[in-house]
Structure 1
Amino acid sequence: MQHDKSFKREMLAVLPSLRAFAMSLCGKQDRADDLVQDTVMKAWAKQESFEAGTNMRAWLFTILRNEFYSQMRKAGREIQDSEGTFTNNVATQPTQHGMMDMHDFRKALEELPDNQREAIILVGASGLSYEEAAEVCDCAVGTIKSRVNRARARLQELLALDENGNYQPDESAASVMSQAFVS
């Protein structure tokens, strides 16, 4: 019973980061919430396979990542809209500068190769260390560092930032970005 309480406490502490990572993968709040719920249910059912004292955060991120990819494989039978043709026709264009900046950022993020996008989200948005991200992605720390570096360079190019990376979002953009990665 004591193990259940400490396991639950550790798992609950990671939920905000899990939710932010899920949101960055899914792009939709309801899908992200479902993904986090699926992750928590799987983790709870398999808690005996978690070794106390190891990295709960990396373990949960790995479960979430694997669940996301499993769901994406299942969704392969659905209509693909990789270029956003259908989505752009039903979406209303943002009127605030912050929303437009976030749209540009998301679009640039989507253009990154999957492994670079995943690495920069884990390290940049979710706050994992390079070591934790390497554990989640099951690769070497140097590989994660390289992916993050290439992703940053590509984002800088796609967003037309100067070489110093002088992008300072305005107040509304900062608000939108913090809600998108924390909510």
Structure 2
Amino acid sequence: MNHIERQKRIEAELVDLMPALRNFARRFHTSPNDIDDLVQETLLKALSNLEKFEEGTRLKSWLFTIMRNSFCTKFGLAKRERVGIDANAAERPSVPPAQDWGMRGHELENAIGRLPERYRTAIDLIFIQGISYETAADRCSCPVGTMKSRVNRARLQLTRELE
């Protein structure tokens, strides 16, 4: 498959994934305008970095990562911005270093990677892909209660490991 065919295929898949991106953006914002802005920013970054997408990986996961990182970056900047000028710089609130969030993110990724496969799948389906417990249970061929139990056990294990 040549470069142009690959790009057209990925762009078509991007369009198909827009509803999933909107649903995922609702985890970060409640305002429809903010949701649209986050989806648009995600798509813009994805299109401008299409050559970095690795064939054989899931485009949806790649887009969700871009969206999460975009939100975290914007959220961190918004926390630091202040309207107006402070009279005294010493009165300004301190800002925790951004690398702490990055390190915690890596710790979380590593901890999720160490989960048993069934728990890791449950976390991926429910929290990363944002699908319902019912749909996740159907995909895993198990009862809804089992899926909820797996998510709960995964949460408990992650909490124990990360605290």
| TM-score of the aligned structures, taking structure 1 as reference length | 0.46
Q: Displacement, 1:78?
A: 5.0
Give the AA of the match of 1:127.
Answer: I
**Rg larger in 1 or in 2?**
2
From 42, 57, 62, the equivalent of 2:60 is 57
Structure with larger RCO (C-alpha < 8 A, sep 6+): 1
Is the CA contact 1:21–1:122 (under 8 Å) kept in the aligned structure 2?
no
2:12 corresponding residue in structure 1 = 9
Give the AA of the match of 1:45.
Answer: S
The alignment status of 1:77 with 2:85, answered yes or no, reads: no
From 121, 134, 155, the equivalent of 1:147 is 155
2:42 corresponding residue in structure 1 = 39
For residue 8 of structure 2, give the secondary structure of its aligned residue in structure 1. helix
Equivalent runs, 1:21-170 vs 2, <5 Å: 21-77=24-80, 123=126, 126-127=130-131, 146-147=154-155
Is the CA contact 1:120–1:148 (under 8 Å) kept in the aligned structure 2?
no
Q: Displacement, 1:122?
A: 6.5
Give structure 1 stretches of 5+ with no counterpart. 80-114, 130-141, 151-183
Aligned length: 102
Give the AA of the match of 1:31.
Answer: D
What is the CA–CA distance in structure 2 between the aligned matches of 1:12 and 1:148, rounded to whole Å? 36
For residue 52 of structure 1, give the secondary structure of its aligned residue in structure 2. coil
What is the CA–CA distance in structure 2 between the aligned matches of 1:36 and 1:29, rounded to whole Å? 11
Determine what percentage of the aligned residue pairs are the same residue. Answer: 35
Give the AA of the match of 2:154.
Answer: S
Is the CA contact 1:39–1:67 (under 8 Å) kept in the aligned structure 2?
yes
For residue 3 of structure 1, give the secondary structure of its aligned residue in structure 2. helix
Q: Displacement, 1:147?
A: 2.5
What is the CA–CA distance in structure 1 between the aligned matches of 2:55 and 2:49, rounded to whole Å? 13
Give structure 2 stretches of 5+ with no counterpart. 83-107, 109-121, 137-149, 159-163
Is the CA contact 1:24–1:121 (under 8 Å) kept in the aligned structure 2?
no
| CA deviation profile, 1:124-169 (whole Å, cap 9, x unmatched) | 682286xxxxxxxxxxxx899623899xxxxxxxxxxxxxxxxxxx
Q: Displacement, 1:8?
A: 0.3
